[in-house]
Amino acid sequence: MEQNNLMEKIVSLAKRRGFIFPSSDIYGGITGFWDYGPLGVELKNNIKREWWKNMVYKRDDVVGIDAAIIMNPEVWKASGHIAAFSDPLVECKVCHNRFRADDKEVIINHEKTPHNINGVLVPVEWTDPRNFNLLIRAYLGVVEAQQNEVYLRGEITQGVFANFKNIVSSSRVRVPFGVAQIGKAFRNEITPGHFTFRSREFEQMEVEYFIKPEEEEGEKAFDYWKKERMQWYLGLGMKKENLRFRPHEPDERAHYARSAEDIEYNAPFGWKELEGIHHRGDWDLSRHKIKYQDPDAGEEYTPWVIETSGGIDRATLFFLIDAYSEDKDRVVLKLHPKIAPYKAAVFPLLANKPELISLARKVYDDLRQHFPTAWDDRGNIGKRYYSQDEIGTPYCITVDHQSLEDKTVTVRDRDTTEQKRIAIQKLADYLKDQVYEF
Ligand code: ATP
């Protein structure tokens, strides 16, 4: 499939079927902001739930938190974000558009765009790059003259460090341990784009894993988390050939990172960062002047931290892209059943047979108690299959004439299109076996 074409198809499917809409669509949208529709919120929630299950519930060394978006600005001063959370910005001296100087693709494209002054074609000329801070400001307070400037958090990470002492004193965690968090972050991105890939409001899923400040421990933990995170994407069905690691060059590392590698996805617009694994050393805790005292051994030290920081919007987009396939005359989203918005759809074979409808509704009402289930009685069965394939529903259940006689239904598999007859009584358990596993 032609790659640009693929992005157009994804964007159009996302809007048409209720996955992702431009934010404030009725007013022409707002650059860098997106809304998740009825199916998108399910997909995104499923991704978040799978992540939380894997990172918190299945382990005994990670606890979760949910910190506030707005924090005391001292946090951002100490963390270095006010001084160094910036991207290099250049301005085209001809048309005054601004771009990220390190986004080579955008810069080259802009240079290829014809620029005219008084009808004469002129070459693009750039200003020198300057550091543009990405933190978005907001103002608090009811008396205008006394308003306090605050920041919308540029990463969710700092909420963990600022709560480090509270977490240690209120729970049973001991180094090594991790703190997991999911939440929104905001960045005044210079060039938002590629659909939701680079947004100004987005969600992150992160674990900060605290270890003893020892080189060997650091290397071991960094390696371990790299593998864990890659395995998580693979386990949810992302194709191996579309994922890779990329170590950061020393000059692209964030101000806090001792070492950093990205998990990248082979997007239609190039290999792009999906998640970062960062060795932050003791940068953050020491900037916040926090030390750890081991309650058992009594020793005091500043732990190092290995961070896994993934973007949920990027994961959602890349799961959609990865799952998209065109099969003869149908479009199929081959989403892993764990993240598919609906696990099953129920159809009465005919929409004008009351007995069929009533039995189908019973099946539908029952399945909905177990997992998200769709209903469709429009058009013919072929159209209904098409419609469910396009949103990734793994199983379609049809109630037909035989169902009235022997209380069985057909269960059609999205990927193979094969059909089986299953007893209605056993249906929920059968489907749960296919789509659920804690
Ligand atoms: P990039 O180099 O693409 O700007 P980054 O290296 O600044 O990303 P991090 O600060 O490491 O990103 O953030 C961790 C994760 O948060 C990224 O891997 C990505 O998935 C997600 N993320 C960061 N910025 C955005 C954004 N503007 N829109 C959507 N997701 C984002």
Give the closest residue (by CA) to ligand 1 atom 24: 198
In three-state form (DSSP H/G/I as H, E/B as E, the rest C), the secondary structure along the chain is CCHHHHHHHHHHHHHHCCCEEECCHHHCCCCCCEEECHHHHHHHHHHHHHHHHHHHHCCCCEEEECCCCECCHHHHHHHCHHHHCEEEEEEECCCCCEEECCCHHHHHHHHHCCEEECCEEECCCECCCEEEECCEEEEECCCHHHCEEEEECCCCCHHHHHCHHHHHHHCCCCCCEEEEEEEEEECCCCCCECCCCECCEEEEEEEEEEECCCHHHHHHHHHHHHHHHHHHHHHCCCCHHHEEEEECCHHHCCCCCCEEEEEEEEECCEEEEEEEEEEEECHHHHHCCCCEECCCCCCEECCEEEEEEEEHHHHHHHHHHHHEEEECCEEEECCCCCCCCCCEEEEECCCCCHHHHHHHHHHHHHHCCCCCEEECCCCCHHHHHHHHHHHCCCEEEEECHHHHHHCEEEEEECCCCCEEEEEHHHHHHHHHHHHCCC
Report the nearest atom of ligand 1 relative to the CA of 315. Answer: 20
| pLDDT at residue 256, as a whole number | 72
- Which parts of the chain register pLDDT below 50? none
Q: Measured from the CA of 275, which atom of ligand 1 is nearest?
A: 18
CATH superfamily name and code, 342-436: Anticodon-binding domain (3.40.50.800)
Taking the centre of ligand 1 as the mean of its atom positions, its distance from the CA of residue 135, in whole angstroms, is 13
**Structurally, what CATH architecture does the domain formed by 3-82+134-324 represent?**
2-Layer Sandwich (3.30)
Q: Measure 203 CA to ligand 1 centroid, in angstroms.
A: 10
What pLDDT does residue 125 have? Answer: 92
- Residue to substitute in 36, 99, 280, 314 for testing ligand 1 pocket (most ligand atoms within 8 angstroms of CB): 314
The residue contributing the CA closest to ligand 1 atom 9 is 276
Q: What is the pLDDT of residues 172-203, one digit of tens each?
A: 899 999 999 999 999 999 999 999 999 999 99
Q: Give the binding-site residues of ligand 1, using a 6 Å CB cut-off.
A: 155, 187, 189, 198-199, 202, 204, 273-276, 309-311, 313-314
The pTM score is 0.94
The residue ranges of every structural domain in the chain are 3-82+134-324, 88-129, 342-436
Q: Given this model, what pLDDT does residue 2 score?
A: 63
Which pLDDT score, from 0 to 100, does residue 1 have?
Answer: 60
